[in-house]
Structure 1
């Protein structure tokens, strides 16, 4: 069985409220996709080693479309 991120794979959605204005934040995807121009095209097995989080977590960037505040949230990977 493999460990996969339920958000990346569309198994789950989570709602996160902005800590500044209270609006629902949007999932901007993996934090590692923002490292440089080629990061989104690299295998997750490579980029997940550089984010400083345990390998059983996937770090997503949530952002507020209203005020622009962003927040990193570690999502626990699940076995499938």
Structure 2
């Protein structure tokens, strides 16, 4: 089953406070995109296989969050959604 990152796909904004000051982090993009010049073009699951995190088995997307106040970046682990989670209540009613 395919999983989708809600932030990468524009369903929700990144909503994570800075661990140092509590200000909202800005989304600086997927961590995998910073691995090298061709990394944004790699298959996501391929990038997850050798990054050292459990994001592949936990169905998470790792983003880089940037705090404009503290000038620090943090890794943010976002739970990916399944296509079933994207079905609206109106669509559910139509199938019942």
Scaled by the length of structure 1, what TM-score is found?
0.83
The structure number with the bigger radius of gyration is 2
| One of 70, 75, 79 as aligned partner of 2:78 | 75
Q: How many residues align?
A: 80
Query: 1:7, CA displacement in angstroms?
Result: 0.8
Pick the structure with more strand per residue: 1
Residues of 1 paired with 2:50 and 2:17: CA distance? Answer: 27
Q: Distance in 1 between matches of 2:45 and 2:17?
A: 30
1:24 Cα shift? 2.1
TM-score between both structures, scaled by the size of structure 2: 0.71
Alignment partner, residue 35 of structure 1: 35
Cα deviation code 1:5-62 (max 9, x no counterpart): 1111011123222233343211111111111111112121211212222321111110
**TM-aligned CA deviation for residue 2 of structure 1:** 2.1
Question: Using a 3 Å threshold, how does the CA distance of structure 1 residues 54 and 16 change in structure 2: closer, same or farther?
Answer: closer
What's the RMSD between the two structures over aligned residues? 1.6
Return 5+ residue gaps in structure 2 as ranges.
Answer: 84-96
Unaligned runs of 5+ in 1: none
Higher helix share: 2
Match among 48, 52, 58 for residue 61 of structure 2: 58
SS at match of 2:75: strand
